[in-house]
Structures are given as C-alpha cells and as structure tokens.
Chains A and B, each alone.
Chain A
C-alpha cells in the first residue's frame, strides 16, 4: 500500500485534534518555562525548545508508524511485549534515577522511559491475545491470562517506584469489559472503592449499618417471584464487613504517612479547619497552588505569559504534571473548558472509530488506547483541579517530556494506521 493512500484514508479529525492538543500544550509549556533571557522558541537549551524538538521527532515517528504495514503491529505484538518487559527488567540494573524513581535509560542526548513503550506493547499484546480465535473471555482461565498480560508490566513498574504509571495499566480492563468480561467485576471494583472511602470517612460501624439497611430494603422491595440467593448475600455482607474492618488496619499500618495525608486531604478527614488549611499548604502544597493558580485565572484568564503564579513558579512541576494549571491561569475558564471539550471529543471520536472496526484486533487495540489515554487525562486533570489525590502521571500530549509525547503519539497513530486499513481487511 502506498503512503499516499494512507494519508487519504487516515482519520483527519483525530489528527487535527491531536495537533491542537500538542500545540496548546506546547504554548503552555513555553509560558511556564519562559525565560526573558532567551525568548527564542528554537533555543534547545530551554525546555520549550527541547519540547519543540520532541514534537518534531513525534511527527517523524508518525510518518514511520503510518508507513509500516498495518499487520506488522499484530504480528509483532508478542515480541514487542517481551522486549518491553525486558527493558523494564533492565532498569533494575542499568536504570537512571531521576527524582527518586529509577525509570529511565540514559541515552546520552535524551532519557528514555521504557514504561511509556510498555503501555503500547501491552495494549497490542492484550488485543492480540483477546482476538485470538482460541480465547474466550468468559472462561476463567482466559480471564486469568488476560489479567496476567496487564499485571506483569505493572508489577515491574511499581518497584521503580512509579505507582502512578503502574496504575495506568489497570485501565486496560475496559478492553476486557468491551469484549464480554462480566460487569460484575466492575461492580465489585466500585463497591470495594466505595467501602474503602466510606469506611475512612464514617467508620466501619456506619458502613455496616447502612449496608444492612440496604440489604433489608432490597429484600422488602424484591418481587415475590424472585428467589433470593440468601447464602451469597450473607457471604457478601461478611466479606464486605471484613474488608471494611481491614481498611483501618491497611490505612494506619500499611500506608505511609504521605499516603495517609493525601487521603485525609482529599476526603477532608481532618475536621479542624485550621489543621486542614495547614495540610493543604504543606502536604497538599502542589494541589493547593495549582488550584489557586487556576482560580485566579477567572473566566478569561490573565493572558499569554501574564500568569503571575506561573511566572513566579508557584506551582511545582508546572510544565510536566501540573501543566493544566497554566492553562487555567493564563487562559481562564475559556481555556480549560476548551481543553476538556477537545479531549472529550477526541475520546468519543476514538470510541466511534474503534466500534467501526471489522477486525477484532483493531477494535481491542482501539479500546486499549482509549483506556490508557483516558486514565491519564482523568487522574491528571482531576489532581490538578483538586478533585483527586495527587498521583504523578502526565497529561497526554500536553505535559513536558519526550518519552511521554512520543509514546502517546505512537500509541495513537498505530490505531489510526489500523483504522485507515480497515477496508482492506477481510475477516
């Protein structure tokens, strides 16, 4: 297939959204790392210059991704998965430590973060495994293998330590739901989270009482014809209570103080407003500053390069994980809402594209892609605007960082390549 026809068939709306996001992201990186001394955008000694270079590299990688045969990705997915696992293992020996996390290979001119490529490889491998004619996601054994594919890279990344990146892999479970994994797993997951949070907030006693009341209510309102599974119901209740009891133990003995502080800040567990304010300004310093920066932007923002808090470096890591606060301060609600809308449209477009695939592999890869992008976006923006606790992961296409940008770009464009090729597939 010639490159020409790829360019004709590629989904231009997605490409456009991609360049919008990358462009807006770069403008904000420029603003948050701006230096009066060196305003030239091509100064590669400055972070914005470097990011511009990475954007260039990304564009080249896009061309390469699109030029490769579409079935290359399916065929080599297992090998890529194994390579990325080896790279992750290799970090234990050759890794370079930056900011306390051994997550990088030092390539001299640039630091490579293999976890970014593990995301792509895992999405590919999972799609490959699930689309195999032998695999039936309803079977326990196949579920187990699918989970294993997700779990291996995550387990390799946790000890770096980079729990944020590890967390991302669990989002791939949405692929399994799409392919028929019973939603009961999602239900169990949600109930677990609910019990965890409510126990922290109100204590085991109240959780037990409310849950018992709900079960009684359910028994009263059920249709008379409905046969109540009494035994599972009781065992569910007992397990839930046991979990609830363990929450306090885990929270107080397994968690470290910094984790506890993040939770007590997020769930407002500290009732004394003065102490809470104190926690906000110390442990929650980043979030506090980013919230303040966003708030001070108001509706229209302070204008490009006019963000006083951005200029004063009030928000730590503003060009990486907290880049969204620059948007908030300088472009105001108009800017933040635009970015949220752009992301939402991108995701919905990708869902639409995934659903129109005839090839199961392409569809599953598409879902993998969406899951990974979505969880980054959800956790990052949620953290920056103060609705989620602090977890250090970047905002796709926005945050400063070469590996990140390159990883997300390849992740996206592999799918666009698969999509452009869908009419050639005869399954």
Chain B
C-alpha cells in the first residue's frame, strides 16, 4: 500500500487533468469562437447603400451624411461645459448624464454623445471642435430622400434587432437593415458587403496590430443601385390626390407586370424615419391605430372587390359556355333569391352582356352566376370550377410580387363554406353575393389591378413587381418575365372589354372620360360594416374602380380603392381617370375635376364611427 500510494496519486492527477483539458479544449471548444474572441476585434468598413431610381432614372432615394459627436471619456479634460452644450444644442444635465453613461460603458472606448447632427449644426461645430479634448466627430451615412412619396413601398431601414441577429449571421449589433418595402426586399443588393479588418487587441482593448497580418481581412463590396418600376411623377401625383382619403391605388403596366404606382393613404414623408427625430416620429406613426399610416393598404387591405368582380363572372360564364354575349336577363329593379328580393340600381329592363356591365346590373350577374354552377350536377362541382377560374387571375392567393408583405384575399370554396356553415349545410342561395363581388370574396387592391391587367392583356398577366434594373442591368427573373395564363380563352375577352369601354361612354363613368384616350373600366360600390360598441353597423360604401387604357394597346391598368368613398365613380373613378390622364398624357386638362379631388377629404366620414352619435351613411351631397 505505502509503495503504490504515490504512484496512484500521480496517475489519478494525470487522468483528472487530461479529463478536464479534453472537456475544455475538445468539448467546449467551437471553431467559431476563434473570431469571437475578445482578443480580436473586427472593424467594419461599410460600403455606401445603393441608390433607388424610378423607372425613368429619376432619383428617389439617395444617402446623406450625418455627424455623430463621439466621446472617449478618459481623454476628456475639464472644459467650458456651458459653451460646449450650447454648441451641441443640448442641456447641461443631459450632457453630464450621457457622459457618465459613456464612462460606465467604457472609459477607453468611444461612445456616441450626440447622434446625427445635421450638416448645418456640424458646420458651426467643426471649427471649435479642436478646443475640446476627448471629443470628435464621426461621419456616417443615412438615407436621404429626393421624394416625399412612396414611404410604404420604398420602406425604411433601421437597426438590426435580436431576431435579425439570430436569423442572419452577417449582421452585427448596431448595423442597419431594410425593415420594410423595397429596402427589405432588396436588402442584400442595396447593402453590398461590408469589408472587415481583424485587429488584435490587448486586455485594455487597445489595438496592437492586425490579426494574422490581415490575411482574413476583406474589402467592402459596393451596394448596387436599383431602378424600380415606379413612376415617380405618377406616385407623387397619386399621393397628392389621396390626401385626406384612406385606401389604396395600384397601377400596373399590363405588358410587363411592372408596378407603376403603389399608393396607400394616409401615408407619410419617408424622411420622417431618418435622423434625430426618427424614434419620436416612428412612435407617432406606429401608435396611430385608427388611420394606420404605416399599414400599406394597396397590398394589405382586403375588401370585397364589389362590381369589378362582375367582369370575371362574365368571363367565366362565357368560357363555360353557359351564356353568350347576347344572352338576356330581365332586371326587376332587382332579382329574387328564393322568395327574397335583392335590389339593383341599374334602372330595370332587359340586359345583355354589354349593358349588364356598363349599367352594373345585379340581376344580370346573379343570373349568370347561377348558370355557372347549375351547369354541374352539384353545387360543389360548380364551385370547384368557378374557384379554379378565379384563382387563375391571381385571386385568393399570394401573387408572388417582390414586396415583403401581402395578403391572400379570398375566393371562397366549398371547404370555406363548410367551415362557416357546417358540412353541407349551405345551398347555392348562400353564395349568390359572390356574383356581384360582395359576400365572401375578397381581394387586395394589387390583386384587383393585376386582374385588370389580365383582362387588358386578354388572358394573361405578368406577376406584378417593382424591380426594373439592378446595377444598370434589366432584370431577368423568370418569375417576373414569364406570362401567367388565365383559364379563359382570348376570344371571350372582347365582349367583356366592350362592356367595360361602354362604362366610360354611356355607363356609370361617363362623366370621367379622358379626352383622346379610350378607357375600359368598371365601377364598384362596396357595402361594408364595422362594429361600434359590439353592434354591427353599416358604414358608407367603399368606392372602387378598375380601369385600363388605351383599350386596344393597354399601357396602364389601375385599381383604386377608397374607404367609405360612396359609389364607385365618385372618388375611385375620379382618381383613376386623373391618374390615367397624368400617366398617358402627362398633363391634366380637366382642372375642375382635379381641383375637386385635391380639395375633397373624407375625414368627416372617418370621424363618424368614432363620434358616438347616430350618423347617416351614403349621403349624396358632396
């Protein structure tokens, strides 16, 4: 025992040490930590973020310099605090507080004292900066906007959060990333790639030279400029018209699927989300839960489409062969569902397809819709066929455009009704509202615009997109350049388009003609409800309008949706007409029409549900 005692202890110690070392160096070790090491600091070299131009090469988003006043607390020598504070434009208390905070963070490392000085403040400060030891100015780059429009579609950039850091190892805390809109969708293109230098640090965090002589260092890769398909003029004009109204407008070039304008009202100046006032402004926008300026209605609102949807029902009926363009229905100032009568505003009489469309006859389309599913032995089968046709227009599902948010809209099918009413506990009369675009069917403005483009193209569409050029090169993404075909044959479009053209000639929009341009359009007036104190209350109808022009060689397809704008021709129709004129002619000739749209607001309508008083809806007087 006494002879082996020491040998055993020696061996036990050896084994314990090897065990502990293998735990540390083999099990706890991960290769990533080499560059995570506190002894190595990565210093990043950020390339300038790419500019954003409109479809005609007009600059929309650029960069502007901003100047942060930095402090290294250790190097600060006693100074004339009062003078310095007045130069910086901050209070003495704030100055002392920030300085203390910086000292707690690290006496040796720079902290931001005053962020994002403007150019003017910087200029006056610059000359006197030498007097103050321990302070210096660091330049950085912020977004600079050359337009006051397109806040929602352009999007904004903001500092990365925990989730971004987890999701994407590229980012380091404090960096900026595109948060919404185009800035988010094309983040990697615009951002470029930062360069990195690895610096060897000592335990006081001082630089002691490049790590491994810089073999791991990289140089920055410039962010690329992009051209978006938006037309800056049209976008700005649309937003001007939208002032005081809520809703969304989407204009698309049918021949390419390029989005010409994506307007949401109310909106805000994109410059609000840049600079020193950013967080204050953001809070204000974010907490406006009634008007919701940051909620892009052009791609997120899902109202019922209303009467524009009738055009699709007409196309489906023609394709299924259940009606001919000449087929007639009689309108009794309404139509009957069982024993219940539903109303119609067309004036009554016998309607064929053209007059059914331009007078927007409910009875005609109820009859048409009934014929579609009566063709099949069961309503279920009829519904399936109808759903398939509708979805081929990009309805009821995500369109696949290049913006980070969207909604499916809804084309109700039998599963949907089974869920709402219970399995097979619904009959055809339950779904008749879909004939006129009310009821369960729902579509976002961009879906409506896309559907209009498909009609304009006589049977196909290109997935809507906002990107046009990246780094000077035209895009060639197959998902945007390949046509999507609808299930409707080309020949069936002409009668429907003729009806839509008549809308401008003698129908619901005859006061809205644009001189020298033949337009095809369709009004929509959408009943809608809200809950006030738990009571379902009807509000003034939404005003909806779709149009494309010129009829034979369409250059623009547009969908306008104005919340509580009353009948289709009133707000939506006016705006569509003005925007088409602006885009195609460049000049507005109908100044009175324009004046009316610029002046009128719907604020009184939006105030009604919150007034706490009983109110009238659909008031005819302007």
Q: Which residues of A contact B (CB under 8 A)?
A: 36, 174, 177-178, 180, 183, 289, 291-292, 294-299, 302, 306, 308-309, 311-314, 328, 332-333, 336-337, 340-341, 343-344, 347-348, 351, 355, 367, 370-371, 374, 377-378, 381-382, 385-387
**Contact at A328–B1, with CB atoms within 8 Å?**
no
Known: A344-B11, A377-B13, A387-B16. 10 other contacts (CB 8 A): A177-B5, A178-B2, A183-B2, A296-B29, A298-B25, A299-B29, A333-B26, A336-B21, A337-B21, A340-B17
Specify which chain B residues have a CB less than 8 angstroms from the CB of A343 in the assembled complex: 14
Specify which chain A residues have a CB less than 8 angstroms from the CB of B16 in the assembled complex: 387
Contact of B1 among A36, A174, A183, A341 (CB under 8 A): A183
| Minimum Cβ distance to chain A for residue B613 (Å) | 57
**Contact at B6–A328, with CB atoms within 8 Å?**
no
A174, B5: Cα distance in complex, Å: 9
The answer, yes or no, to whether B611 is at the interface (CB within 8 Å) is no
Main secondary structure of the interface of B (DSSP, over half): helix
Specify which chain A residues have a CB less than 8 angstroms from the CB of B20 in the assembled complex: 385-387
**Contact at A311–B39, with CB atoms within 8 Å?**
yes
A129, B51: Cα distance in complex, Å: 90
Q: Which residues of B contact A (CB under 8 A)?
A: 1-3, 5-7, 9-11, 13-14, 16-18, 20-22, 24-26, 28-29, 31, 33-34, 37-40, 200-203, 208-209, 211-212
Give 28 CB contacts A-B under 8 Å. Answer: A36-B209, A178-B6, A292-B38, A295-B24, A295-B29, A296-B34, A296-B37, A297-B25, A298-B26, A298-B34, A302-B34, A306-B212, A308-B200, A309-B39, A312-B201, A312-B203, A313-B203, A333-B22, A333-B25, A336-B21, A337-B21, A340-B21, A344-B13, A348-B7, A374-B6, A377-B13, A378-B13, A387-B16
**Contact at A308–B39, with CB atoms within 8 Å?**
yes
| Minimum Cβ distance to chain B for residue A179 (Å) | 8
Specify which chain B residues have a CB less than 8 angstroms from the CB of A178 in the assembled complex: 2-3, 5-6
Interface centre among B7, B22, B39, B200 (most CB of A within 10 A): B39
A202, B40: Cα distance in complex, Å: 41
**Contact at A337–B203, with CB atoms within 8 Å?**
no
Residue of A nearest to B9 (CB): A374
Contact of B6 among A289, A367, A377 (CB under 8 A): A367
| Minimum Cβ distance to chain A for residue B29 (Å) | 4
7 interchain residue pairs of minimum CB distance: A308-B39, A344-B14, A333-B25, A312-B39, A312-B202, A298-B29, A347-B10
Instruction: Indicate whether A374 sits within 8 Å of B10 (C-beta atoms), given known contacts A177-B5, A178-B5, A313-B202.
Output: yes
Instruction: Indicate whether A351 sits within 8 Å of B25 (C-beta atoms), given known contacts A183-B1, A312-B208, A313-B202.
Output: no
**Contact at B14–A340, with CB atoms within 8 Å?**
yes
**Contact at B6–A351, with CB atoms within 8 Å?**
yes
Contact of A381 among B2, B6, B17, B25 (CB under 8 A): B17
| Minimum Cβ distance to chain A for residue B23 (Å) | 9
Specify which chain B residues have a CB less than 8 angstroms from the CB of A386 in the assembled complex: 20, 24
Specify which chain B residues have a CB less than 8 angstroms from the CB of A347 in the assembled complex: 10
**Contact at A351–B10, with CB atoms within 8 Å?**
yes
Specify which chain B residues have a CB less than 8 angstroms from the CB of A344 in the assembled complex: 10-11, 13-14
Specify which chain A residues have a CB less than 8 angstroms from the CB of B14 in the assembled complex: 340-341, 343-344
**Contact at A328–B203, with CB atoms within 8 Å?**
no
| Minimum Cβ distance to chain A for residue B215 (Å) | 12
| Minimum Cβ distance to chain B for residue A308 (Å) | 4
Specify which chain A residues have a CB less than 8 angstroms from the CB of B29 in the assembled complex: 295-299
A343, B37: Cα distance in complex, Å: 30
A332, B25: Cα distance in complex, Å: 7
| Minimum Cβ distance to chain A for residue B223 (Å) | 32
**Contact at A174–B33, with CB atoms within 8 Å?**
no
| Minimum Cβ distance to chain B for residue A186 (Å) | 8
Specify which chain B residues have a CB less than 8 angstroms from the CB of A382 in the assembled complex: 17
A348, B15: Cα distance in complex, Å: 14
Specify which chain A residues have a CB less than 8 angstroms from the CB of B40 in the assembled complex: 308
**Contact at A298–B31, with CB atoms within 8 Å?**
yes
| Minimum Cβ distance to chain B for residue A397 (Å) | 16
**Contact at B10–A299, with CB atoms within 8 Å?**
no
| Minimum Cβ distance to chain B for residue A126 (Å) | 15
Specify which chain A residues have a CB less than 8 angstroms from the CB of B39 in the assembled complex: 308-309, 311-312, 314
A137, B13: Cα distance in complex, Å: 28
Residue of A nearest to B203 (CB): A314
| Minimum Cβ distance to chain B for residue A276 (Å) | 17
| Minimum Cβ distance to chain A for residue B295 (Å) | 40
| Minimum Cβ distance to chain A for residue B294 (Å) | 37
Residue of A nearest to B34 (CB): A296
**Contact at B25–A299, with CB atoms within 8 Å?**
yes
A23, B202: Cα distance in complex, Å: 27
**Contact at B208–A174, with CB atoms within 8 Å?**
no
Specify which chain A residues have a CB less than 8 angstroms from the CB of B37 in the assembled complex: 296, 308-309
Residue of B nearest to A289 (CB): B203
**Contact at B25–A295, with CB atoms within 8 Å?**
yes
**Contact at A374–B34, with CB atoms within 8 Å?**
no
A43, B106: Cα distance in complex, Å: 37
Instruction: Indicate whether A385 sits within 8 Å of B24 (C-beta atoms), given known contacts A311-B39, A340-B17, A347-B10.
Output: yes
Specify which chain A residues have a CB less than 8 angstroms from the CB of B3 in the assembled complex: 178, 355
Residue of B nearest to A371 (CB): B6
Specify which chain B residues have a CB less than 8 angstroms from the CB of A183 in the assembled complex: 1-2, 5
Specify which chain A residues have a CB less than 8 angstroms from the CB of B200 in the assembled complex: 308, 311-312
**Contact at A294–B25, with CB atoms within 8 Å?**
yes
Specify which chain A residues have a CB less than 8 angstroms from the CB of B18 in the assembled complex: 337, 340
Residue of B nearest to A341 (CB): B14
**Contact at B7–A351, with CB atoms within 8 Å?**
yes
Residue of B nearest to A295 (CB): B24
| Minimum Cβ distance to chain B for residue A259 (Å) | 23
Residue of A nearest to B3 (CB): A355
Residue of A nearest to B16 (CB): A387
A382, B212: Cα distance in complex, Å: 31
A298, B39: Cα distance in complex, Å: 16
| Minimum Cβ distance to chain B for residue A345 (Å) | 9
Residue of B nearest to A297 (CB): B25
Specify which chain B residues have a CB less than 8 angstroms from the CB of A387 in the assembled complex: 16, 20
**Contact at B2–A336, with CB atoms within 8 Å?**
no
| Minimum Cβ distance to chain B for residue A290 (Å) | 10
Interface centre among B14, B16, B21, B209 (most CB of A within 10 A): B21
A309, B34: Cα distance in complex, Å: 10
Specify which chain A residues have a CB less than 8 angstroms from the CB of B13 in the assembled complex: 344, 374, 377-378
A386, B17: Cα distance in complex, Å: 10
| Minimum Cβ distance to chain A for residue B473 (Å) | 43
A178, B5: Cα distance in complex, Å: 8
| Minimum Cβ distance to chain B for residue A265 (Å) | 16
| Minimum Cβ distance to chain A for residue B96 (Å) | 27
Residue of B nearest to A298 (CB): B29
Specify which chain B residues have a CB less than 8 angstroms from the CB of A308 in the assembled complex: 37, 39-40, 200, 211
Specify which chain B residues have a CB less than 8 angstroms from the CB of A314 in the assembled complex: 38-39, 202-203
Residue of A nearest to B33 (CB): A296
**Contact at A348–B24, with CB atoms within 8 Å?**
no
Specify which chain B residues have a CB less than 8 angstroms from the CB of A180 in the assembled complex: 2
A221, B37: Cα distance in complex, Å: 56
Specify which chain B residues have a CB less than 8 angstroms from the CB of A295 in the assembled complex: 24-25, 28-29, 33
Residue of B nearest to A291 (CB): B24
| Minimum Cβ distance to chain A for residue B586 (Å) | 64
Specify which chain B residues have a CB less than 8 angstroms from the CB of A341 in the assembled complex: 14
**Contact at A311–B208, with CB atoms within 8 Å?**
yes
Residue of A nearest to B25 (CB): A333
A179, B609: Cα distance in complex, Å: 101
Residue of B nearest to A182 (CB): B2
Residue of A nearest to B24 (CB): A295
| Minimum Cβ distance to chain B for residue A367 (Å) | 7
| Minimum Cβ distance to chain B for residue A190 (Å) | 12
A333, B25: Cα distance in complex, Å: 6
**Contact at B21–A333, with CB atoms within 8 Å?**
yes
**Contact at B10–A336, with CB atoms within 8 Å?**
no
Specify which chain A residues have a CB less than 8 angstroms from the CB of B7 in the assembled complex: 348, 351
A306, B200: Cα distance in complex, Å: 11
A296, B40: Cα distance in complex, Å: 12
Instruction: Indicate whether A370 sits within 8 Å of B21 (C-beta atoms), given known contacts A312-B39, A312-B201.
Output: no
